[in-house]
Amino acid sequence: MKTFLIVAASTVALTACASQPEDIQTAYVSPLQYNNYDCDQLSMEAERVSARTIELYRSLKDTADTDEVQMGVGLILLWPTLFWLEGGDDERAPEYARLKGERDAIEKVSVQKRCGIQFQPMTPSDS
């Protein structure tokens, strides 16, 4: 019975943790919405999307790392408390997925129009 409770708590903990930003799938965004943009407009949109993506990445990374620490401590010291972990992805994850898709769409249109836009790294590890 004790083993079952430990396995159950571990399962709850693993499913309750926020996703690492690298694990959030990119949402598809049609490049058609950017077809009427000129290179200057694409460049400004790329800067906006990149800045917000990096901001969300850092925030999501902090949340996921905190969840992992709480889970580790909970598994070792206080495993019954894992049943009450809030965890999970919040409203920022879908926005982050959409912004990754917008970045891809802007990049495709930029290549088609030969704008030569250089994107900032999406995450600190992309540099």
Residue 95 has, within 13 A of its CA and on its CB side, a CA count of: 13
Nearest to 57 by CA among 29, 92, 107: 92
Print the domain residue range for 93: 2-126
High-pLDDT (> 70) share of the chain, %: 66
Beta-carbon neighbour count of residue 125 at 10 Å? 10
The domain total for the chain is: 1
Q: Per-residue confidence at 117, pLDDT binned at 50, 70, 90?
A: confident
List the structure tokens of 110: 């930029």
Give, as one character, the DSSP assignment of residue 122. Answer: S
Q: Per-residue confidence at 73, pLDDT binned at 50, 70, 90?
A: low
What is the value of pTM for the model shown?
A: 0.73
Q: Do the beta carbons of residue 89 and residue 18 sit within 8 Å? A: yes
Nearest to 102 by CA among 45, 18, 62: 45
The C-alpha atoms of residue 56 and residue 51 are separated, in whole angstroms, by 9
Q: Do the beta carbons of residue 76 and residue 10 sit within 8 Å? A: no
